Amino acid sequence: MNFCSHCGSSELTFAVPPGDTHARYVCENCGTVHYQNPKVVTGCLPVWEDRVLLCRRAISPMRGLWNVPSGYLENGESVVEGARREVREEAAAEVEVDYLITLYNIERIGQVYLQFVGDLVDGAYGVGPESLESRLFTEAEIPWDDIAFTSSAFTLRRYFADRATGHRQLHRSSYPDVGK
């Protein structure tokens, strides 16, 4: 942040405002406090029979690696709506969102992952513009060495472990936990 987005001044300081507990960018010209907060990444693991749907990323970062369909939550949508949208955009598929399996923090870069498990409607899917490929995997087929993000590895590990024991539950963790 080089300029105040309200008044255009370059007189920005980074300091704890009076009565606040955290340092913020504050404009010395107009007094605007520029809050910066973590972002939500929402996603859903689509399940069809004994398989799960992953997408191979066509965009950076982690281009070419496999991922649970996920992306930044947008203004105006709920977390569940965002998860459904991401599945639509990345896998050209519809899901019935079932339960929240993952609350995963990457504190260093201000990301909060909320990933659900859902039912892949009609077992139908395609390849969205942000994906090179989509594919249903059994547990034995998961390309563990080619998973794009720790959050996805975490969700996949926990999903299969819970499926084996019949549990459906939320797991909380933080980077760099991969759920093993």
Q: For residues 139 and 162, which CB has a smaller minimum distance to a copy of itself in the complex?
A: 162
Pairing of the two strands 66-67 and 51-57: antiparallel
Q: Token digits for 117? A: 């498990």
| Residue 22: CB atoms within 10 Å | 8
Task: Write out the residues near a copy of itself by the rule CB under 8 A.
Answer: 1-8, 10, 19, 21-22, 34-40, 72-81, 89, 99-100, 103, 105, 107-108, 110, 112, 114, 129, 170, 172, 174
Taking the complex as a whole, the smallest distance from the CB of residue 54 to a copy of itself amounts, in Å, to 21
Q: For residues 138 and 169, which CB has a smaller minimum distance to a copy of itself in the complex?
A: 169
Taking the complex as a whole, the smallest distance from the CB of residue 159 to a copy of itself amounts, in Å, to 16
Taking the complex as a whole, the smallest distance from the CB of residue 172 to a copy of itself amounts, in Å, to 7
Let me know: does 178 contact 151? Beta carbons within 8 Å: no
Q: Which residues contact 134 (CB under 8 A, 6 or more apart)?
A: 53, 54, 55, 56, 90, 91, 92, 93, 125, 126, 127, 128
Q: For residues 33 and 50, which CB has a smaller minimum distance to a copy of itself in the complex?
A: 33
Q: For residues 89 and 119, which CB has a smaller minimum distance to a copy of itself in the complex?
A: 89
